[in-house]
Structure 1
């Protein structure tokens, strides 16, 4: 099966999207890092087990964000490689590389969804704790 030619501009369209995603991922990472630092300082003075559990949950989320960022950066790199290959007339290699870039972007987005779900669950637990204390 022969695929139609991929225009040089197609992979280039992903550059701004990937850059914005990377910015969002970095902001999430920095936000979590600040929360971890605060919880760690609290835990060192109180040794409260709930704080340790929260820190461990945040550690998992930070790992996911690191994987999201890695997949996003690799996606951008493959996009650049695809554009370069297409520029030099290597259609098949450019198409394959662009396909890999799309798969990496999809992986990054799927990991983002997992992290968002974890974040929502953590907030829900926090709010349940507040609700229980009100009773």
Structure 2
């Protein structure tokens, strides 16, 4: 979405937008049922359709934001692994499972597997490959801080 297009649309259709917002606030304040949310969604959808923004553009923008956010979180998690490797604790579980915990990062995996599940500050970042040098170093350093098996 181009900001200039949105600015131009707002400048050309400011009266329609103001009327839609007045109706929207009136509906939200007066109508006290589920109907008000249906009307609000219809008004917002009508404005979006009228503005020329398609659902595909909205989906694409949401997808781009999601991808960017996940990339940023993965980069932050990797940086945190480097910083917190000395604080990480390696816990062996049953059946070859292990958990590595540091203040901000948690890694769960199975011995012999090339994949681990990474959680950063409570947010799952999915399955990562152990071929990553940073993860391999984090795991190796955490193994030096091994604790008793989990029960």
Same fold, TM exceeding 0.5?
A: no
**Taking structure 2 as the reference length, what is the TM-score of the superposition?**
0.29
- Higher relative contact order (Cα pairs below 8 Å, separated by 6+ residues): 1
Q: Which protein is richer in helix relative to its size?
A: 1
Q: Which protein is richer in strand relative to its size?
A: 2
**Taking structure 1 as the reference length, what is the TM-score of the superposition?**
0.32
